[in-house]
Amino acid sequence: MVAQPTTQPTAQPSTQPSQPPAPAPIEPTSPQLVAQPTAQSPAPSPQPVAAPTPSLLVAQPTVPTTAQPTADIPYVPSAAAIELMAKPAANRFYSPLVLNIANSEGVSLSELERIPGTGSDGRVSKRDILQYVADKKAGRIPAIQQPLLVVQPTTQATPQPYQQPAPTYTAPVETTPAPMLVAQPTSPPTSQPIVQPTAQTEPVAPVERFAAPTPPQLVVQPTAQQENKPVTEPVYQAAPQPVAQPTAQSSPVPPSQDIVYSTAQSSGKFSEPSSVVVSGETEIVEMDRMRKLIAKHMVDSKATSPHVTSFAEADVTNMVMWREKVKKEFEQREGTKLTFTPMFVECLVKAMKRFPLVNCSLNGDQIIIKKDINIGMATALPSGNLIVPVIKGADQLNIVGLSKSVNGLADAARNGKLKPEDTTGGTFTLTNVGTFGSLMGTPIINQPQVAIMAVGAIKKRAVVIESAEGDTIGIRHMMYLSLSYDHRIVDGSIGASFLTAVAKEFEQWDVNKQWFHYL
């Protein structure tokens, strides 16, 4: 109806405003208005063609060219954005991704300087800037009135004069298609109310009849096995034969007072294992899904990789002293606890950069050396199972970022909130057997990796301390390290050298280490 007025705007508006007051309440006038613009020939046949009228009415609002110039407006960053991208502040490096997020979220240059960085050397990572933006929107951080990046479109007044025709065309769109949509679809459903499905519901009744007498299923089977225990009283009753067929699963276990059916407790989203205690001497527990996967994975690893394990001893007194000195302030400032695991990971990453062969995998006859260092940490679950969440990009995180990653993944694992991507992509695994008091262990390689390191419990022992003044005996915090590696790729010399390098990193931990790089 509106597509034609573009060529003849003078004829229709002159005739229509004089007639609408009288025929407006009359319903037959609405199809006449729809039939005239759709077909040029005056024939009554256009009435079934009334369906295209919504397309004509809908296509008209898209005709104004005001929306097109708005989409072609180039992006013009403000002067503050150009200054932010041109030079870093306070000698801090900002990646293009961080600058992009700051640009889109309106984070100023001074705000970037105040954001604590958890990346290497205190750099602001993607997670840091996103966390800051979320805190700012939630009102936990006072906003600074310095908008950093502002898009300044050159033509803003052009869309305004064309906003008036929009409401004029929306009114007929809502009224005219309503009767058309209601009139046409009502006819097809009239043929669909088929009462035939009611006949299909009748066979459901006999299914319920056979399901109801399920209690006698446990009573029918013992009649053939009463020889094991004599029964003087008539305990068993006759049951219908069709009910006895589904009880084939319970036939191997005769009902007796010596047999107890129980369900072992399990946590997590996996199925609960069922156990059968026979005569109070034997308990048969069926593995849950997670335990079956762990068992298969361990057997496959031993069958795939020839395991070799090397051991080393490390004096971690400096690590213990530094943690005791800063752990309270660390938790108050960062909101997370400082454990030994992120400290171990930081030392492990430094040694792995010098021995890239331990950070690889084997594909047939090809050795695939990984450039990314993703450390998996074995985590015990309350159900007794084991899972290995992965710290992605461990070499790009400082001690603060590692602590938040370790604690976050461990909490998510224990609460069953890990995502699938949290347990994939690992290139090396660290397991802390000392958490349970073990001094050392021989861990199994987590395929397709080629090495795994275990750290034992920290114990105070009297050791010989070598110095320039001579040898002395002192009380030190000592710990054993063990490394299991795939002998197909890693030989004993490389494995032992790498393990010794990790132990040296433990021993040379800086007691005065600065753990934050921002004011």
Could you give the residue numbers annotated as active site?
A: 487, 491
> What is the C-alpha separation between 139 and 150, in angstroms, rounded?
22
> What is the C-alpha separation between 466 and 320, in angstroms, rounded?
20
Cβ proximity of 2 and 172 under 8 Å = no
Residue 80 to residues 84, 87, 129, 150, 409, Cα–Cα distance (Å): 6, 11, 18, 8, 38
Cβ proximity of 399 and 346 under 8 Å = yes
Count the residues in the chain. 519
Alpha helices in 22-108 (DSSP H): 29-38, 53-59, 67-71, 79-86, 96-105
**Which among 37, 46, 41, 31 is positioned nearest to 8, based on CA atoms?**
37
Residue 507 to residues 316, 321, 347, 400, 504, Cα–Cα distance (Å): 5, 12, 10, 20, 5
DSSP 359-393: SEEEETTEEEE-SS--EEE-EE-TTS-EE--EETT
Q: Helix (H) and strand (E) counts for the chain?
A: 20, 14
Pairing of strands 375-377, 379-380: unpaired
> What is the C-alpha separation between 389 and 429, in angstroms, rounded?
10
> What is the C-alpha separation between 327 and 316, in angstroms, rounded?
16
User: Which tokens in the block code for residue 181?
Assistant: 């949509």
Residue 422 to residues 154, 270, 416, Cα–Cα distance (Å): 46, 18, 12
CA torsion angle 227 228 230 231 (round to 10): -100
